[in-house]
């Protein structure tokens, strides 16, 4: 029983990070039909944002304030990733609309350059971010099951982001415009929505969320220039499994992959677990080729 609970909890925390990463991918893919392979590098940008914040706190502020750096780091990561995402959309992505496979190659190139840039600035070896002391330890549910505060914090952070995204997409005017563009770009443009502005803003938000995910990852382990590549393919699988264009699909996809991944890896070993997850996904797609929650459409292609 104990082991089940802690395995499930681990699965949940893996899912929550995957969810944060896949959120941005799902939006940009659904909205602009752009495959952003450099999304993983926005995770890296967020992670290094947290690292820099920590260094600044260490060097300029008194020691007693150090523990407060993490909330600031989250904000910093979001803002930096948002800004770079906006810049990328304006300079490159807008030339690639409607060419998903080309966008995949070009953004892969962007990712390579960003990785090399990080390597030149911060050095190739991983750097460690020391997490704030109030996240040490864990919550004892019952004997034998300890839920680490760090992972609980990540889950809470993801829930908060998800809630904010829900409010943004389904309850705000900007979100309404976004959904309109997603469903029918031409019609939305006819009704006076600036699709250009929606595109760049949405892309930037997606990148910003990836930045938050990167910041959260610093709680789990050391960070390096290629941290994003570990997560990017899994995040894409979440999008494929969950279906494009609906928040609930991304949530379900992330939960499914995260939990099953953890469970399979526990039952077999890490390498076979991955194979099993992949087989399950392919099997599931036999049944629902468009993912769990596809937006219904009558268009042929």
Partner 1 sequence: MLSSSILPRRVWLLIGYAVSAAALFSAPLYLNDFRLNLLAKCLAFAIVALGLDLLWGYTGILSLGHGVFFGLGAYAMAMHLKLVSSGSRIPDFMDWMGLTKLPWFWELFKSFAFAALMGIAIPAGLALLLGFFTFRNRIRGVYFTILTQALVIITVTLFVGQQAYTGGTNGLTGYTKMFGYSLKSDTAKTMVYLATVVALILAFLLCRYLVKSRFGKVLRAIRDGENRTRFLGYDPSSYQMAAFAVSAGLAGVAGMLFVLHVGIISPTMMAIVPSIEMVLLVAIGGRGTLVGAVIGAVIMTQAKSELSASYPDFWLFFLGALFIVVTVFLPGGIVGLIRQLRQTIIRRRSTNEIKLNSVVPEGNGVV
Site for partner 1 (CB under 8 A): how many residues? 44
Considering the complex, state which of residue 190 and residue 283 has its C-beta at the smaller distance from partner 1.
283
| Residue 60: alpha-carbon gap to chain centroid | 31
269 counts as binding partner 1 under rule CB under 8 A: yes
CB of 260 to partner 1, least distance (A): 14
297 counts as binding partner 1 under rule CB under 8 A: no
Structure tokens at 227: 């941290």
Which of these, 83, 77, 38, 86, lies nearest to 199 by C-alpha position?
Answer: 86
274 counts as binding partner 1 under rule CB under 8 A: yes
295 counts as binding partner 1 under rule CB under 8 A: no
Q: Do 113 and 91 meet the contact criterion of CB atoms below 8 Å apart?
A: no
68 counts as binding partner 1 under rule CB under 8 A: no
92 counts as binding partner 1 under rule CB under 8 A: yes
Q: Which stretch binds partner 1 (CB under 8 A): 71-79, 141-149, 166-174, 279-287?
A: 279-287
Using CB under 8 A as the binding rule, the residues of this chain from 17 to 56 that contact partner 1 are 29, 35
Q: What is the C-alpha separation between 53 and 47, in angstroms, rounded?
A: 10
Considering the complex, state which of residue 55 and residue 120 has its C-beta at the smaller distance from partner 1.
120
CB of 114 to partner 1, least distance (A): 8
Q: What is the C-alpha separation between 292 and 166, in angstroms, rounded?
A: 19
Using CB under 8 A as the binding rule, the residues of this chain from 210 to 229 that contact partner 1 are 229
Label residue 287 left, alpha or beta by phi (over 0 means left) and psi (-120 to 50 means alpha).
alpha
Which of these, 287, 234, 275, 279, lies nearest to 257 by C-alpha position?
Answer: 234
Backbone angles phi, psi at 141, to 5 degrees: -80, -60
205, 206, 211, 213: CA torsion to nearest 10: 130
Q: Do 208 and 258 meet the contact criterion of CB atoms below 8 Å apart?
A: no
Using CB under 8 A as the binding rule, the residues of this chain from 103 to 162 that contact partner 1 are 103-106, 108-113, 115-116, 119-120
102 counts as binding partner 1 under rule CB under 8 A: yes
Over the Cα atoms of the chain, what is R_g? 19
Q: Which residues bind partner 1 (CB under 8 A)?
A: 29, 35, 92, 95-96, 99-106, 108-113, 115-116, 119-120, 229, 233-234, 236-237, 239-240, 269-272, 274-275, 278, 281-282, 285-286, 289, 300-301
């Amino acid at each position: 029983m104990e082991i089940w609970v802690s395995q499930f909890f681990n699965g949940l925390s893996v899912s929550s990070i995957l969810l944060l990463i896949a959120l941005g991918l799902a939006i940009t893919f659904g909205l602009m039909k752009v495959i952003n392979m450099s999304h993983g590098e926005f995770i890296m940008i967020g992670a290094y944002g947290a690292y820099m914040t920590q260094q600044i706190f260490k060097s300029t502020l008194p020691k007693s304030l150090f523990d407060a750096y993490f909330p600031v780091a989250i904000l910093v990561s979001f803002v930096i990733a948002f800004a770079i995402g906006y810049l990328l959309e304006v300079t490159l992505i807008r030339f690639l609309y409607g060419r998903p496979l080309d966008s995949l190659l070009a953004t892969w190139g962007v990712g390579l350059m960003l990785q090399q840039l990080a390597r030149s600035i911060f050095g190739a070896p991983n750097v460690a971010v020391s997490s704030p002391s109030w996240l040490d330890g864990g919550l004892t549910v019952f004997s034998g099951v300890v839920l680490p505060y760090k992972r609980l914090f990540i889950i809470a952070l993801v829930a908060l982001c998800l809630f904010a995204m829900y409010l943004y997409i389904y309850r705000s005017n900007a979100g309404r415009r976004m959904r309109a563009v997603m469903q029918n770009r031409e019609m939305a443009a006819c009704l006076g929505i600036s699709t250009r502005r929606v595109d760049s803003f949405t892309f930037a938000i997606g990148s910003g969320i990836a930045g938050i995910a990167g910041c959260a990852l610093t709680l789990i382990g050391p960070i390096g220039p290629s941290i994003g590549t570990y997560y990017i393919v899994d995040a894409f699988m979440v999008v494929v499994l969950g279906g494009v264009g609906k928040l609930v699909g991304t949530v379900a996809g992330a939960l499914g992959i995260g939990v099953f991944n953890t469970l399979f890896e526990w039952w077999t070993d890490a390498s076979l677990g991955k194979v099993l997850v992949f087989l399950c996904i392919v099997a599931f797609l036999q049944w629902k080729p468009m993912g769990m929650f596809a937006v219904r459409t009558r268009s042929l292609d």
